[in-house]
Amino acid sequence: MSYVIHKSENRGQADHGWLKAKHSFSFSSWQDPRYMGVSALRVINEDRVAAHRGFGMHSHDNMEILTCVLSGKLTHKDSMGNIGHIAAGDWQLMSAGTGVTHSEMNEGDVPVHLLQIWLFPNIKNPEPTYQELALNVKEQPNQWHLIVAPTDNHLANFKGMVIRQDARILSTFLQTGHELVLDSEKKTSYVHVVSGNIRISNGTEEQIASEGDAIIFDNSTPSSTVIADTDAQLIWFDLP
């Protein structure tokens, strides 16, 4: 196994005044052939949306779009008839399928901090769907929470959201000194550090990562362990 670290300072940046964004992978006007996604994972945008601003109605198709709100509250409206608020700790998965139009607005008086994540689906042109999950990992620390699983998962107590891709997405808030095993079911792992400082080790090799960094590695060798050097929030993409 070899670890590849994607440093935060290598992410693209955009400042539109009302929107400040960092792009882990090529997006919009920021294009870098080194960063075009990993496996089915295509977009991780870290967005800060100013008060009373946001993304007006726009369209997507054939993309799995996951939103994780880190602070503030986002108002969602879409052409499927869904209207709601996504607060800090909440997750949303919109499977665009044949096509959906939606808006994401910050109607509050403080900025909204969020992650917008896109994955390619493994099926073309199904009917669009919408799912929400209220699960603040900070309230249940030091364990993996399965946020998203494929349609063929057979976990009896699974309460997360179903994605049209052979991928799992897990998240944790790991307190200082705690560790967790990355027990993969898929081919490739991509661990994005939302906040804090961590180490990932397979017993013979170790990699360090901080806020905004990501670590990429294949799952062909024994499992790895993630150790928190400070309180840290992580999202683990277990990818085909």
Residues belonging to the binding site for Fe cation are: 58, 60, 102, 104
In sequence order, the 6+-apart residues with CB closer than 8 A to the CB of 183 are 223
89: left (phi over 0), alpha (psi -120 to 50) or beta: left
Which residues are annotated as part of the binding site? 58, 60, 102, 104
> Distance between CA 173 and CA 144 in Å, rounded?
8
In sequence order, the 6+-apart residues with CB closer than 8 A to the CB of 127 are 97, 98
Please spell the DSSP secondary structure of 113-176, one letter per residue: EEEEEEE--SSSSPPPEEEEEE--GGGS-SS-EEEEEETT---TT--SEEESSS-EEEEEEE-T
Q: How many residues does the chain have?
A: 240
In sequence order, the 6+-apart residues with CB closer than 8 A to the CB of 8 are 22, 210, 211, 212, 213
> Distance between CA 213 and CA 203 in Å, rounded?
21
